[in-house]
Amino acid sequence: MQETACNPEADTLKPPVINVGVIGWVRANLFNGWFNSALTLVTLYFLWKVVPPMVRWLFLDAVWTAGSEACRAADGACWSVIKENIRFILFGFFPYNLQWRPLIAMFILFGLLYYSQDRTHWHKGLGYAWILGLFTMGLLMRGGIFGLESVESGKWGGLPLTLMLSVFGLTAAYPLGVILALGRQSTMPGVRWLCIVYIEAVRGVPLISLLFMSAIIFPLFLPEGVSVNKILRAQAAIILFTAAYIAEVVRGGLQGMNRGQYEAADSLGLNYYQTMRLVILPQALKIVIPPTVSILISAFKDTSLVVIIALYDVLKTTKSVISDPEWLGFSREAYLFVALLYFLGCFSMSNYSRRLERELNRD
Amino acid sequence: MNEQEQEAAAEVTQPSGEAIVEMIDLHKWFGEFHVLCGINLTVHKQERIVVCGPSGSGKSTLIRCINRLEEHQRGRIIVDGMELTNNIKKIEKVRAEVGMVFQHFNLFPHLTILDNLTLGPVWVRKTPRKEAEETAMYYLEKVHIAEQARKYPGQLSGGQQQRVAIARSLCMKPKLMLFDEPTSALDPEMIKEVLDVMIELAREGMTMIVVTHEMGFARSVAHRVLFMDFGRIVEGNSPEEFFTNPQHERTQLFLSQILH
């Protein structure tokens, strides 16, 4: 009987050219049918109307380095507002001649973060590197010893402040959130109720109110003369707030766990901590990487709320710049710049989480 | 394994007198439901017991009480000289001596096969990692799956996973192995490879309590076959007596349903 199906040894027949390649893609995705074709045309029109003026405003007609008069005279964006004020935007009220210190501190932080990305680098040495790095950063910011001039924490501001509140905030909130989630599942009623009350109470209020409470109400409870650093209080509020949300996300992950995993671990004789650490948490935390990263990204942006307790994070410093009469009216450029900074931070986190998921799923 | 070898396996090891599991008037309730109604059972060292019965009869619950995956409410269970109570330390000690193989394998998907096997010895018995890995490779050889040591459970077939699960329990060098329907979730062609491993295990004198519907296995390897229904052990006998001469009507009905 003759073979009717394609004979692999016959000459390969290429598909017609309008079905493959660029033309094929365009035909299949942009113009396949009346509705899609109409939509494509409308979109192209919209892009034609919007993109060239935007490019003109952003780049072509923009003023990059001239002063504010040149800016007002020009049509395009005034990027000089950034260039002229970059040091205030980035460092806030940190003494002008000492700003190399927070700059170096930030480089150390970025360096450590970049190096820690690769999971094969995670060994004891890295832990020590972080401890040393954090100590150095603290030293650079605070000063007071090794011949460095002392800078009190009230003057810390701008990007270092945002980074500090985020990095320490998120790093501390994550384990705390995991502990709360485990506590909420506990068989001991006291522990369970404590965790439930904490999580629900914190989730029931906005972060702003926690910051208020930390700045205004909390000091009232302290004994006479004892004062806690305002940044520390803001840091604590951010940690406690984020931990509650992480706890709920981790709880979701724990609930999704197969009972059989617990049983297998039990049947080997593993105790509670071993089971959680070696079997359950690695799996549960991996499943909830996407929502966890969402919470962390939100927390990173929520650091801008510390403006409410008069801390000068990078958003507040940017706002202050445009309230300067010389630079009045260039708020678009300033906000675009700070949005870019936030975007870079959030996008890196998001990218890293996707990469982490890919790596862990390949396992 | 052919018929003769299977019979030889049954002959080689006979139970010694010492009791390894004693259940005395065991009762368990799931809420209002009385799942185990007064079980009295003694299992001796090197004895092989097959428990069969309709679903809901309590056979899985019975063996899960032995390693405290289920708590009993009345009666006593004594495993390897240790009584099972709410004492966590005791429970963990018992669990280290009792291996369990589950219907759905329950391998740890985030660890390699080798890590799956070394987890117990390293963390419970505090064995050094090198030694644990050697033991793991030894048992992987035994279940004929040594070449898969670096793979992940998701990359193996059901039969391979179950053999790994058996090896994982063996790495803890348990005194008793519990099998909860080990082949029920497997494709027919994989059942044989798992049963062969279990028969080899039997040949070496492991004490085994197996909940299964594989009557061929029961016939060839078990010292006693127990039939459970509605939370009671209705009948228990040597395989020859059990299959050729079932005493109770319910046993006869059950056998007629599954032996077709």
DSSP characters for A245-286?
HHHHHHHHHHHTS-HHHHHHHHHHT--HHHIIIIIIHHHHHH
What pLDDT does residue A35 have? 87
Please give the residue of chain B at the shortest CA–CA distance from A281: B110
What pLDDT does residue A214 have? 85
Min Cα separation B120/chain A (Å): 6
Torsion, Cα of A67, A72, A75, A80 (10° steps): 30
Residues of B in contact with A274 (CB under 8 A): 123-124
Residues of A in contact with B104 (CB under 8 A): 260
Under an 8 A CB cutoff, do B119 and A268 touch?
Answer: yes
Under an 8 A CB cutoff, do B67 and A279 touch?
Answer: no
Residues of A in contact with B68 (CB under 8 A): 266
Q: Give B164-222 as a 3 state SS string.
A: HHHHHHHHCCCCEEEEECCCCCCCHHHHHHHHHHHHHHHHCCCEEEEECCCHHHHHHHC
Count how many Cα atoms sit within 13 Å of the Cα of residue A10 in the half-sphere of its side chain: 7
- Between A52-61, A250-259, B192-201, the lowest mean confidence (pLDDT) is in A52-61
Q: Which of B236, B158, B167, B150 is nearest to B192 (CA)?
A: B158
- Please give the helix or strand (H or E) that residue B98 lies within, else none: strand B98-101
Structure confidence by residue, pLDDT tens digits, B73-87:
999 999 999 999 988
Tell me the pLDDT band of A127, cut-offs 50, 70 and 90. Answer: confident
Please give the residue of chain A at the shortest CA–CA distance from B169: A268
What pLDDT does residue B7 have? 52
Min Cα separation A267/chain B (Å): 5
Dihedral pair phi/psi, residue B25, rounded to 5°: 50, 55
What is the edge-to-edge ordering of all strands in the sheet holding B19-30?
A: B33-44, B19-30, B74-79, B82-83
Higher-pLDDT residue of A148, B228? B228
The pLDDT of B25-35, averaged and rounded, is 93
What pLDDT does residue A150 have? 83
Q: Is A277 on the interface with B (CB under 8 A)?
A: no
Q: Select from A262, A267, A280, A363 the residue whose CB has the most chain B CBs within 10 Å, as the one to mutate to test that interface.
A: A267
Residues of A in contact with B102 (CB under 8 A): 260, 263-264, 267
Q: By a Cβ cutoff of 8 Å, what residues of chain B touch chain A? A: 67-69, 88, 92-93, 95-96, 98-100, 102, 104, 106-110, 119-120, 123-124, 152, 168-169, 172
The pLDDT of B41-69, averaged and rounded, is 92
Structure confidence by residue, pLDDT tens digits, B96-153:
999 999 999 999 999 999 999 999 999 999 999 999 999 999 999 999 999 989 999 9
Under an 8 A CB cutoff, do A279 and B108 touch?
Answer: yes
- Please give the helix or strand (H or E) that residue A158 lies within, else none: helix A158-184
What pLDDT does residue B260 have? 66
Among the partner-chain residues B93, B110, B124, the one whose CB lies closest to the CB of A268 is: B124
Among the partner-chain residues B69, B99, B123, the one whose CB lies closest to the CB of A270 is: B123
Quick one: B171 exposed, middle or buried, by C-beta within 10 A (0-12, 13-18, 19+)? buried
Q: Is A191 on the interface with B (CB under 8 A)?
A: no
Average pLDDT, rounded, for chain B = 90
Tell me the pLDDT band of B169, cut-offs 50, 70 and 90. Answer: very high
Tell me the pLDDT band of B3, cut-offs 50, 70 and 90. Answer: low
Under an 8 A CB cutoff, do B168 and A266 touch?
Answer: no
What pLDDT does residue A109 have? 92
Q: Is A287 on the interface with B (CB under 8 A)?
A: no
The answer to whether the pTM exceeds 0.80 is: yes
What pLDDT does residue A92 have? 87
The two structure tokens encoding residue A290: 């996407």
Torsion, Cα of B109, B111, B112, B116 (10° steps): -90
Under an 8 A CB cutoff, do B69 and A266 touch?
Answer: yes
Q: How many CB pairs under 8 A join A and B?
A: 64
**Kindly report the CA angle at A290 between A285 and A292, in degrees rounded to 5?**
60
Residue B49's SS3 state is strand
Average pLDDT, rounded, for chain A = 87
What pLDDT does residue A24 have? 79
The pLDDT of B154-174, averaged and rounded, is 95
ipTM entry: 0.91
Among the partner-chain residues B68, B95, B104, the one whose CB lies closest to the CB of A268 is: B95
With 90 as the cut, is the pLDDT of residue B33 above it? yes
Under an 8 A CB cutoff, do B169 and A286 touch?
Answer: no
Tell me the pLDDT band of A359, cut-offs 50, 70 and 90. Answer: confident
What pLDDT does residue A22 have? 81
Bridge partner residues of B49 (DSSP) = B209, B224
What pLDDT does residue A57 have? 86
The pLDDT of A117-144, averaged and rounded, is 86
Q: Which of A174-188, A226-240, A300-314, B243-257 has the highest mean pLDDT?
A: A174-188
Among the partner-chain residues A261, A269, A283, the one whose CB lies closest to the CB of B95 is: A269
The pLDDT of A328-352, averaged and rounded, is 91
Question: What DSSP line would sit under B221-239, residue for residue?
Answer: H-SEEEEEETTEEEEEE-H
CA distance A235 to A219: 15
Do A239 and A173 touch, CB atoms closer than 8 A?
yes
Among the partner-chain residues A269, A283, A286, the one whose CB lies closest to the CB of B124 is: A269
With 90 as the cut, is the pLDDT of residue B49 above it? yes
Under an 8 A CB cutoff, do A278 and B109 touch?
Answer: no
The pLDDT of A306-322, averaged and rounded, is 88
The pLDDT of A65-92, averaged and rounded, is 84
CA distance B139 to A40: 63
Tell me the pLDDT band of A5, cut-offs 50, 70 and 90. Answer: low
What pLDDT does residue A152 have? 82
What pLDDT does residue A4 have? 54
What pLDDT does residue B43 have? 93
